Amino acid sequence: MKKVYLLVLFLLFSHISYAHKLNVFAYLEDGKIVISSYFVDGNPCKNCTISIYKDEKVVFQSITDKNGELITENSWGLPLKIVSNESLGHKGEFLLSNEEINDKNISNNQNQKNIDSKKVSFSKGFVEEIVKKEIEKALKPYKIYIGIATLFGLFGILMVFKKR
């Protein structure tokens, strides 16, 4: 019976271990790289170390602000690998490439033939929409775990009353 209780407790609280996953999102705006680093629950990663890699070499390193954001000039070109490290060992990565920017820019500006990727800008609403979708994708497995844990919990309670 103790094993059943331990299993139920484990399943009920297993979703907590995923609460510290670190997400990173970056985009270009007016030739600057805007980087956001946040946890699964949407809380910003304050004072996280952001490293930017070009051809597997660190070209820039800095710390996020209290909103989990960092803005820097893009003097390295694309593609760039952006890595966010939190002090407790959580890590997130994002690849900022020409394809993502040009594909989005072409779909938004079909009439323009010469698109300079350094002058691409996205609205705040567009970025918020992308971040919201990424958070929802990350939370899907937790909903399954919570459902299974609830079933085990109800079954455990039923077993306790049945034994009495």
| Confidence label for 113 from pLDDT (cuts 50, 70 and 90) | very low
Residues 32-72: tens digit of each pLDDT? 999 999 888 788 899 999 999 999 999 999 999 999 999 99
* Cis-peptide into 141, omega within 30 deg: no
Task: Spell out the domain ranges in the chain.
Answer: 2-163
Task: Please tell me what DSSP assigns to residue 44.
Answer: B
Its pTM stands at: 0.54
Residues 64-111: tens digit of each pLDDT? 999 999 999 999 988 999 999 988 888 889 999 876 555 455 445 544
Q: Let me know: does 61 contact 81? Beta carbons within 8 Å.
A: no
Tokens linked to 58: 């660190």
CATH pick for 2-163 out of 2.40.420.20, 3.40.50.300, 3.40.640.10, 2.60.40.10:
2.60.40.10
Report the C-alpha gap between 138 and 140 in whole angstroms. Answer: 6
Report the C-alpha gap between 62 and 126 in whole angstroms. Answer: 26
Buried-state track 57-76, b at ≥16 Cβ within 10 A, e below 16:
eeebeeebeeebbbeeebeb
Q: Let me know: does 8 contact 125? Beta carbons within 8 Å.
A: no
pLDDT attached to residue 71: 94
pLDDT attached to residue 34: 92
